[in-house]
Amino acid sequence: MTPPALTDARLDITGRIATVTMLRHDVRNELTGTALVNDLIGVIDWINAGLDISVLVLTGGGSAFSSGGNIKHMLAQQGAFAGDIAELQRQYRLGIQRLALAMHRLEVPAIAAINGPAIGAGLDLACMCDLRLAAATATMGESFLDVGIIPGDGGAWMLQRLIGYQAAAELTFTARIIDAAEAQRLGIVLEVLPPEELLPRAAALAATIAAKPPQALRLAKRLLKAAPRQELSDHLDLAAVFQGICHRTEDHAEAITAILAKRPPVFTGR
């Protein structure tokens, strides 16, 4: 399939890796007043519709990963939707919440390369990814209460699943900004790197993952996403079905043959 045309981001494809760079540095890659939500959803739908991509890498162009919302737009909304709660709810459902649902249904692993501040919905966007790497200079914050609102994009659902209720509650209730080192201690990010090493490390990690059998990789992500909402018996049933699919793939046979022959495998996605 033809890759989607993007408005406020750039899509680069290297082998089985798709890298999206958000390009609205003028507004610190904010999500609510740009085309970035639609751009990201378009890339996700394109990836899910085909079998050519195995990993999505997401990063910010310029100094910020994403500042989330724009307080000037919030002020305008205050006047535009004064008293109209139903319309404001509709704006959330048709806006930032579509991104949360799209990231949740993404079929391939996603890596956030957090190059700078990830604030509010920007932090939540990073948390929507499976893995997060951060530049040592990056900062993060679940800062909604500082502007008198709550995480309307699913952040309260995602953050506590990532780091536990108490740590998520402290970050949410205080709205404090943390540095990359603390984010790593809390379990928000996997690795902290010098800024110049961030994208090369993200590319290397993506390449390692993209080298795995494509069908099994997607099934493994589906299994991980399903596990928290399943009883063990239900999870084992699903795992058995997915395992049956994997056992019948050409890539499974190739993996075993390559190991026995002591050579690198060549996977075809079949």
Residue 171 has what pLDDT?
98
Who has greater pLDDT, 215 or 89? 215
Give pLDDT tens digits for 54-103.
999 999 999 999 998 776 666 666 565 566 888 888 888 988 999 999 99
**pLDDT of residue 46 exceeding 80:** yes
The per-residue pLDDT for 83 is 66
99-157, pLDDT tens digit by residue? 999 999 999 999 999 999 999 999 999 999 999 999 999 999 999 999 999 999 999 99
Look at residue 70 in the predicted model and tell me its pLDDT.
72
Decide if pLDDT at 187 tops 80: yes
CATH number for 9-210 (one of 3.40.50.720, 3.90.226.10, 3.40.50.920, 3.30.1370.60): it is: 3.90.226.10
- Mean pLDDT over 238-266 rounds to 96
pLDDT at 68: 86
The secondary structure of the chain, three-state, reads CCCCCCCCEEEEEECCEEEEEECCHHHCCCCCCCCHHHHHHHHHHHHHHCCCCCEEEEEECCCCCECCCCHHHHHHHHHHCCCCHHHHHHHHHHCHHHHHHHHHHCCCCEEEEECCCEECHHHHHHHCCCEEEEECCCEEECCHHHHCCCCCCCHHHHHHHHHCHHHHHHHHHHCCEEEHHHHHHHCCCCEEECHHHHHHHHHHHHHHHHCCCHHHHHHHHHHHHHHHHCCHHHHHHHHHHHHHHHHCCHHHHHHHHHHHHCCCCCCCCC
Q: What is the pLDDT of residue 238?
A: 97
Residue 43 has pLDDT above 80, yes or no: yes
Listed by start position, the domains of the chain span: 9-210, 214-261
Mean pLDDT of the chain: 94
pTM to 2 decimals? 0.94
| Whole-number pLDDT of residue 81 | 58
Residue 77 has a pLDDT of: 61
At 74 the pLDDT is 65
Q: Given this model, what pLDDT does residue 182 score? A: 98
Per-residue pLDDT band at 256 (split at 50, 70, 90): very high
The mean pLDDT value for 25-54 works out to: 96
| Per-residue confidence (pLDDT) for residue 80, from 0 to 100 | 59
Tell me, what's the pLDDT at 82? 60
CATH topology identical between 9-210 and 214-261:
no
Give domain 214-261's CATH architecture: Orthogonal Bundle (1.10)
* pLDDT score, position 236: 97
